[in-house]
Amino acid sequence: MTVIDIPGSKSVTARALFLAAAAEGTTTLLRPLVSDDTEGFAEGLRALGYAVRQEPGAWHIEGRPAGPGTADADVYCRDGATTARFLPTLAAAGHGTFRFDASAQMRRRPLGPLSTALRELGVDLRHGGKEGHHPLAVHAAGVKGGALTLDAGQSSQYLTALLMLGPLTAEGLDITVTDLVSEPYVEITLAMMRAFGAEVVREDRTYRVAPTGYRARTYGVEPDASTASYLFAAAALLPGREATVPGLGTGALQGDLAFVDVLRRMGAEVEVTADATTVRSTGTLRGLTVNMRDISDTMPTLAAIAPFADGPVRIEDVANTRVKECDRLDACAGNLRRLGVTVDTGPDWIEIHPGAPAGPAEIATHGDHRIVMSFAVTALRTPGITFDDPGCVKKTFPDFHRVFGAFARTP
């Protein structure tokens, strides 16, 4: 099997759900990602009084431009940071008291700069436990808008949430960023906001959003580029193999597709056409130094194949991977060392030295889907790898083990 159907993008599905909920009219979302994160987002919307009807391959959302359809709600955001950061921001545009909580894993992840920004906009937001973390309560009375400064150096999701709030404010929003990671995710946000009728312009470090509201539409979700990275990495790693992912081509919204450029630099053959991407092994994997600030969800994917390269692989500028589902720099280093690989790390980098990993070993997943999916790639050339929590892939790809196993078994 060389052509692989990859489930829809988590980032696109989450944004589409927000935009559809805020829009005038009913939106149909085609090929949404069905996973714990996006089911959690849809469930959160329902708790806030939005009508979301899910059928196979299509979700229908009735928009409520005035905000949540209830004045009092409890919302559980599970493990999803998009849910945990986007939904309180959406609720702020409405009227009522909305309480949010999340899993233990998500409670550990920060959202302080987003809370501060919402408070600057006049939103009465209170944290129930640790400041800048879930749980929190939003006492919403609409948002007037104005200008604010934001540090999005820890997560671009703070900026995405506020940008998407912009059209729902009375006077519009100007956001100036002092720092920003994962910038391609902001490009997804801007493109999708415009697709739902918003007017937003960027002038250097300032984003200006007009108070237009959103218009409902039918929206097709492209396959998830971060998910595709495991198949692309596997194809680059296994001599004689290739992987083609339809639906991810030159027009793709997601920056994580640039992971194939890293594989190309390492020696793989890569072809990106208008509607598909193919990665082919050449039997060579070269070491390299690469800055992954823009595409850090694929850092563990690269770390997992790095020991098979002919020289050191050094990944730089990925400090924010320490505040994801787990501390991914430590998790990657720890698991590679468990496999006998030599690894060095610093505050925002990891360097992996060549040398065939050796099992048997149980990978400590830390409940992180990307640690499982990445080390499943390592396992293709390392007998004896098992996982302490293989099921945590449900966050973004519940069917991962079946799909990846089928790819691996294909001669």
Ligand X SMILES: C=C(OP(=O)(O)O)C(=O)O
Ligand Y SMILES: O=C(O)C1=C[C@@H](OP(=O)(O)O)[C@@H](O)[C@H](O)C1
Kindly list the residues in this chain that would bind ligand X in the complex (CB under 6 A): 80-82, 297, 324, 370, 396
CB of 297 to ligand X, least distance (A): 4
CB of 66 to ligand X, least distance (A): 27
CB of 318 to ligand X, least distance (A): 12
> Could you tell me the sign of the dihedral formed by the alpha carbons of 144, 145, 146, 152, in that order?
positive
Amino acid at 290: V
For ligand X, the closer CB: 78 or 280 = 78
Q: Does 11 bind ligand Y (CB under 6 A)?
A: yes
Q: Does 320 bind ligand Y (CB under 6 A)?
A: yes
Which residue carries 């409902």 as its tokens? 216
The entry of ligand X, ligand Y, none near residue 80 (CB within 5 to 8 angstroms by kind) is ligand X
Catalytic residue list contains 36 = no
CA distance 300 to 304: 6
Pick the catalytic residue from 36, 37, 101, 297.
297
Taking Cα atoms as reference points, which of 269, 271, 272 lies closest to residue 251? 272
| Cis peptide preceding 357, ω within 30 of 0 | no
Phi, psi of 274, rounded to the nearest 5 degrees: -60, -30
Stretch that binds ligand Y, among 17-25, 177-185, 214-222, 340-348 (CB under 6 A): 177-185
Taking Cα atoms as reference points, which of 317, 312, 311, 361 lies closest to residue 336? 361
310 neighbors 316 (Cβ within 8 angstroms): no
Q: Does 82 bind ligand Y (CB under 6 A)?
A: yes
CA distance 112 to 120: 12
Q: Name 12's Cβ contacts closer than 8 Å, sequence gap at least 6.
A: 33, 188, 192, 221, 222, 253, 254
Q: Give the residue ranges of the annotated binding site for 3-phosphoshikimate.
A: 10-11, 15, 155-157, 182, 297, 320, 324
Taking Cα atoms as reference points, which of 387, 106, 82, 351 lies closest to residue 226? 82
Closest residue to ligand X: CB criterion: 81
Measured between alpha carbons, how far apart are the two ends of the chain, in Å?
Answer: 8
For ligand Y, the closer CB: 296 or 378 = 296
Q: Work out which of 222, 224, 297, 325 binds ligand Y, going by CB under 6 A.
A: 297
Stretch that binds ligand Y, among 69-77, 164-172, 180-188, 244-252 (CB under 6 A): 180-188
CA distance 137 to 364: 34
CB of 20 to ligand X, least distance (A): 18
For ligand X, the closer CB: 183 or 242 = 183
Q: Work out which of 27, 156, 298, 382 binds ligand Y, going by CB under 6 A.
A: 156
CB of 324 to ligand Y, least distance (A): 6
For ligand X, the closer CB: 154 or 244 = 154
CB atoms under 10 Å from CB of 356, counted, come to 11
CB of 194 to ligand Y, least distance (A): 16
The entry of ligand X, ligand Y, none near residue 301 (CB within 5 to 8 angstroms by kind) is none
Stretch that binds ligand Y, among 149-157, 170-178, 275-283, 341-349 (CB under 6 A): 149-157
Dihedral of the alpha carbons of 167, 168, 174, 180, in degrees to the nearest 10: -90
Q: Which residues are known catalytic residues?
A: 297
Residues lying near ligand Y in the complex (CB under 6 A) are found at: 11, 14, 82, 155-157, 160, 181-182, 185, 296-297, 320
